Amino acid sequence: MQPLFLNRYAIASAAGIGAADTVHALGAMRSGLAPCRFETASLDTWVGQIDDARLEPVCGKLGAFDCRNNRIAQLCLRQDGFDDAVVQARERHGAQRIGVFIGTSTSGILETEIAYRHRDAAGALPAGVRYATAHNAFSAAWFVQEYFGLGGPAVVVSTACSSSAKAFGTAARMIAAGACDAAIVGGVDSLCLTTLYGFGSLGLLSAMACRPFDAARDGISIGEGAAMVLLEKTPSQAGTVALLGIGESSDAHHMATPHPEGLGARMAMQAALHSAGLDAQAIDYVNLHGTGTRTNDAAEDLAVRAVFGEATPCSSTKGWTGHTLGACGAIEAVVCALAVERGFMPGSANTNALDPGLSLHYLLQTSARAPRVAMSNAFGFGGTNCSLVIGRAR
């Protein structure tokens, strides 16, 4: 594919609000996870929750979009000079030529979950629940479109935990096909009871902070957050990091369990390398999906080994952020961009003793080694797989 440049990006998660805070947390091995005190949840698990005090209401003429998910999106849009950069891009391209491609899994469903507690005697929901602009998945892209007054194509990609990685694929295709000239690509997901109790019902929640690739790993910690990227065909300055390749595949195996040998994951990574025109040796660091469940990490270990062998440094950053579900693809793409631009390789918060049954060159401590090109993996329910190649264009 033609490289597309990440001319500006922003990030917000439990690990850090903004790039500087996030990079500091990664360097200091400071995890954003804490025991779950979210809403009325009563579950023995940890979460990566953004401090409520940081989440300002969405107000004014955008008030209809107010919900936790869009508050997190708004927080992210206001970091790292992102909103100014989009305003300038709108001047360059015209509002109609900038598309919006956002990944989310549960959007603002929390609003509806709470409304169901307040049904009347006849079972009807209370007035005032905003389905279209809060609950519906499209709310996330619609909010970003309205926040910047954009008129290009806007769509939400909702493929569970690969959603916002795949949003980059949609953006790249739309730009290549001429449907828009630039794109805001991102992901946002927020804590809600559906995912907390849903993953709980599957027995996939760790009672501790998640420990990817640890011998004693026993599940995920759900997180929330957002990352947003301004993607353009030309770099804003020399050396700007670019999306170099993307690969997508389907497991065709099971709705909630990955293929045991990571077959679909392997196909996605190989397709991403092919799309970037690179061989495996060109990848200096792999940001794993690395959720911290027994089966996910084991399958990904086999898949990555099949593509890269055992020497390529890799790690999961979910020990910092938690598993941010539909947002993790964009969040981890931005982590890769930060790693390339600022010259570091993330380690793995909370991972103490590597599983001897896993074979990868898994980094425990964040190091000052600078990757030139990184790969980011995101896999999800339904057997959906997506790998991104992010780095400096040649």
Partner 1 sequence: MKAFVEGVAVLAPGLEGWEAARAVLAGERPYEPAALAPPVPALLPAVERRRTGKVVKLALALGQEALAAAGREADAVATVFASSGNDGEVINDICIALASAERQVSPTRFHNSVHNAPAGYWSIATHSHRASTSVCAYDWSFALGLLEALAQAGEGAVMLVACDVPYPEPLSGLRGVTEPFGTALVLTGERTPRSLAVLELSPDEAARRPSTMASPALERLRTANPCARALPLLAALADGASGVVLERNAGRTMDIDVRPA
| Cα–Cα distances in angstroms (integers) from residue 220 to residues 33, 237, 314, 351, in the given order | 11, 39, 19, 13
- Rounded CA separation 243/166 (Å): 12
Active-site option among 67, 161, 180, 328 = 161
Counting contacts by CB under 8 A, is residue 116 touching partner 1? yes
Residues β-bridged to residue 222? 47, 323
Q: Cβ 302 to partner 1, closest distance in Å?
A: 16
Q: What is the phi-psi region of residue 309: left when phi exceeds 0, alpha when psi lies from -120 to 50, beta otherwise?
A: left
Whether residue 113 contacts residue 193, with contact meaning beta carbons closer than 8 Å, is answered with: yes
Counting contacts by CB under 8 A, is residue 169 touching partner 1? yes
Counting contacts by CB under 8 A, is residue 264 touching partner 1? yes
Name the residue nearer to partner 1 (CB basis): 129 or 354: 129
Counting contacts by CB under 8 A, is residue 124 touching partner 1? yes
Counting contacts by CB under 8 A, is residue 150 touching partner 1? yes
**Binding to partner 1 (CB under 8 A): which residues in 11-50?**
none
Q: Cβ 42 to partner 1, closest distance in Å?
A: 8
- Structure-token pair, residue 97: 């030529």
Name the residue nearer to partner 1 (CB basis): 161 or 314: 161
Counting contacts by CB under 8 A, is residue 222 touching partner 1? no
Single residue of 62, 256, 280, 354 touching partner 1 by CB under 8 A: 256
- Rounded CA separation 20/380 (Å): 29
Question: What one-character-per-residue DSSP string does 178-202 give?
Answer: TS-SEEEEEEEE---HHHHHHHHHT
* Known catalytic membership, residue 289: yes
Whether residue 247 contacts residue 31, with contact meaning beta carbons closer than 8 Å, is answered with: no
For residues 59 to 98, the per-residue mask of contacts with partner 1, x marking binding by CB under 8 A and - elsewhere, is: -------------------------------------xx-
- Rounded CA separation 202/256 (Å): 9
Q: How many CB atoms lie within 10 A of CB 305?
A: 17
Name the residue nearer to partner 1 (CB basis): 248 or 341: 248
Name the residue nearer to partner 1 (CB basis): 81 or 198: 198
* Known catalytic membership, residue 161: yes
Single residue of 24, 30, 54, 119 touching partner 1 by CB under 8 A: 119
* Known catalytic membership, residue 336: no
Counting contacts by CB under 8 A, is residue 223 touching partner 1? no
For residues 345 to 384, the per-residue mask of contacts with partner 1, x marking binding by CB under 8 A and - elsewhere, is: -----------------------------------xxxxx
Stretch that binds partner 1, among 80-88, 122-130, 213-221, 307-315 (CB under 8 A): 122-130
The closest alpha carbon to 237, from 336, 335, 341, 150, belongs to 341
Name the residue nearer to partner 1 (CB basis): 16 or 326: 326
How would you label 202-222 residue by residue, b for 16+ Cβ within 10 Å and e otherwise? eebbbebbbbbbbeebbbbbb
- Helices 68-77 and 139-148 cross at an angle (nearest 10°) of 40
- Helices 139-148 and 82-93 cross at an angle (nearest 10°) of 70
**Binding to partner 1 (CB under 8 A): which residues in 316-345?**
none
Single residue of 3, 152, 245, 329 touching partner 1 by CB under 8 A: 152
Counting contacts by CB under 8 A, is residue 207 touching partner 1? no
The closest alpha carbon to 381, from 316, 319, 326, 314, belongs to 326
Q: Cβ 346 to partner 1, closest distance in Å?
A: 28
- Rounded CA separation 365/201 (Å): 33
Name the residue nearer to partner 1 (CB basis): 101 or 320: 101
Q: Where on the chain is the footprint of partner 1 (CB under 8 A)?
A: 96-97, 105, 109, 112-113, 116-117, 119, 123-125, 129, 131-132, 135-138, 141-142, 145, 150-160, 166, 169-170, 173-174, 176-179, 193-194, 197-202, 248-256, 263-264, 267, 271, 380-384
Which positions are catalytic?
A: 161, 289, 323
